[in-house]
Each structure stands twice: as C-alpha cells, then as structure tokens.
Structure 1
Amino acid sequence: MTDISEMLKAYLAEAEDAPMVWGESDCSTWPAKWVERVRGVSVPLPAWSSREEAHALMRDTGSLVSLWDEALSECGIYETAVPSIGDVGVILSHAHGEAGGIFIDGGYFAWRAEPTGYRILRPRQNTIVKVWSIQ
C-alpha cells in the first residue's frame, strides 16, 4: 500500500498551478476527490457550478459541515477528535467563513482558493469546526 503522505504530496502537486473551478475543484469538491482517491468511494455531494450555487446549498442545509456530514456518513467516514495527515475537515476563516480542505503534515490545513493552486495555514484549535478521518 502507498504511504498516505506520499499520496498527499502527489495530490497537492497536481493542484499547485491548476485553476480552482467551482463544482470541480473548490474547497469541497477537491477534498471529496481526495477521499475518493484514498478510500475508493464516491462522495455524494450535491452539484453546483458557481460560488452562488455553493453558498445557496450551504444555506439550504444549514452549513458546509451539514453538507459534508451527510455525504461522508453515506461513505462510512466519520468524525475524529484529532486530525491526522490526510484527514478532511472544515475550518472557520475570517475571510471566507467555512472552508473545507485536507489536513497535511504538522497540523497544517490545505484548501483550494481562487484563482489557482491551494493555500496552507495552521488553524487554531477553536477554528476547526469538524474533522473526518479517512483512515
């Protein structure tokens, strides 16, 4: 079996210069595709094609966490208390509100943002809304 950190490095490299596209490689679809790659399951997120549609879905379900909870539970992926490398989660950012992404080495968090690539930050514990274990 391939080491999760090596898989994650390759996944991050693929996104490095790629444009962020709503509904294809945004802060929800990008980590969902990561889950699909690692676990071999399709994450049943609803479809959207713009920021406005994504935010409307979040409002309709209550939050980004609600969207993820429903989709990931259907895949047998559940919450964990402490993020490990490769786990997916939702954080609360001052600039963007709830944002989904992937936890990387050292407690850092990577998420897709416009226009290209991904961003990395080290979230404070009180900004981590929820984490789901991919292991």
Structure 2
Amino acid sequence: MLSEQLKAFIGAAQARPMVWGYDDCTGWPSLWVEQITARPLPRPVYSSRDEAMAIIAEHGSLARLWANVLCGVLDETGIPEIGDIGVIDTGRAGHVGGIFMHGGFFAWRGETRVAPILPRTIIRVWSIQ
C-alpha cells in the first residue's frame, strides 16, 4: 500500500542526515518517484546549498526547475494526493520541494530531518500515478 511505502521512505530518511544533491528537498522526492515508478528521473548535479541555489536561480524558481526536469515524465495536477510530489511556499523557509502525505500534510526533507508541514500555499503538484 502506498501509505505504508511512504511511511517507510520517510522513516529511512529520518535515520540519516541530508546530503545536498542526493536527498535534499529536490533529490529526496526524486528518489521517492524512482522507487514508486521504477523509472529514473533526470536531476541537476550539485553538491552544496550554494550550487543548488545557483541552479534554481538559472531556472527562475524551484517550481520552474522542477517543471523543466519533470516535463514529459510526470503529469502536473491541481489537487495533491498521497505520494504526489510538489513545491510549496512555507513562508518562513520560502519555496521547498517534498512529498504530499495524508490529511493535507507535506513531508519536507530538511537538513536534519523530515518535517511534516501543513502547506500555506501549494505552488505546483505532480502526480505519481
């Protein structure tokens, strides 16, 4: 069941520190999609926060970066379902990527843990179905 897979995926991330370019707020949702769909996703290459921010700036925003990478790979949707990925505006931390959970919550992979957030504003959503 998808909810059990997501719970295990989140639990595994809680057990290790985040690595830029691998399982940060862009890489971690990509790993989730690859696990669920068994399809590799194209990803930008970076190894630090500064490099990630430079790539985001080149694309204009995190949501545009994701849209460019996911074009033709996943379908964009307006209403997130459990397991879907997307970009939200947290207000305080700005735009971040993650995975949608039950109850309207969003799993954000921060530097030290996965934080469940109730999104203030959903910017974009892609369906994993």
Q: For residue 64 of structure 1, what is the amino acid of its counterpart?
A: L
Aligned structure 1 segments of 4 or more residues deviating by more than 4 angstroms: none
Identity %: 49
CA distance in 2, matches of 1:40, 1:74: 16
* Residues 58-100 of structure 1: per-residue CA shift (max 9 Å, x gap): 000111111111211242x011111000000000122221100
CA distance in 2, matches of 1:74, 1:48: 23
Q: What does 1:1-135 align with in structure 2 at a 5 Å threshold? A: 3-75=1-73, 77-114=74-111, 116-124=112-120, 127-135=121-129
CA distance in 2, matches of 1:46, 1:32: 11
Q: For residue 85 of structure 1, what is the amino acid of its counterpart?
A: I
Show structure 1 runs of 5+ residues with no match. none
Show structure 2 runs of 5+ residues with no match. none
C-alpha displacement of 1:24: 1.1
Q: For residue 85 of structure 2, what is the amino acid of its counterpart?
A: V
Q: For residue 98 of structure 2, what is the amino acid of its counterpart?
A: G
CA distance in 2, matches of 1:38, 1:71: 18
Report if the CA contact (8 A) 1:65-1:130 is conserved: yes
How many pairs align? 129
So what's the TM-score if we normalise by structure 1?
0.91
Q: For residue 120 of structure 1, what is the amino acid of its counterpart?
A: P
RMSD: 1.0
C-alpha displacement of 1:45: 1.5
